[in-house]
Amino acid sequence: MIISPIAMLNLNEPSLQEAGVNSTILTLGNTTTTACIHYFFSSYVTKLYLHPPLPISKKLTSTSINPYTKITMETHSLFAKPRFTTLQLKDLIPTIGKRALTWKVKKDYLKNCIIAGINLPKQRRFWLDIESAKTDFEMAKKMIEIVKKDNRLTSLF
């Protein structure tokens, strides 16, 4: 679809007219491509912020991360505007069998937001690339473990 913008400018070209290419086909192709790229990459977490535990004097380490640890994940919209989603780790569920997704927001959390009248998070799927977490690799790994472990425990009850 890289050729589409060039073809849009040259629709009067005889070779394009002979092939039956019109602006509707090109526009549909461009829109579909953009939508697919947005769908797959909008869940990519560009920055991850850990909120310090209470009391503030307590230092944040990988051992202090638990299901009640609050995190803010930064993703981007279609127009590259940052989106911030703040949740506790217990509000996330691991995705199984999906390479490009790490977590999804639990349905129970979304139902509770509706009941409480809280705005629903705009982003509900998250892809945390653990390989790119060079500085805080241990923290990111610990968060993924906590979400997996917490969901195994809740599924037992």
60-106 per-position pLDDT tens digit = 565 678 888 899 999 988 888 999 999 999 999 988 776 767 889 99
pLDDT at 4: 52
Low-confidence ranges of the chain (pLDDT < 50): 1-2, 7-9, 156-157
Any idea where the domains of the chain sit in the sequence? 4-41, 47-156
pLDDT at 156: 47
Report the mean per-residue pLDDT for the chain: 76
Give the pTM. 0.69
DSSP of the chain: -TTHHHHHHTTT-HHHHHTT--HHHHHHHHHHHHHHHHHHHTTB-SEEEEPPPSSTTSPP-GGG--TT-EEEEEEE-TTS-EEEEEEEGGGEEE-SS-TT--EEE-HHHHHHHHHHTPPPPS--EEB--GGG--TTHHHHHHHHHHHHHHHHHHHH-
pLDDT at 62: 58
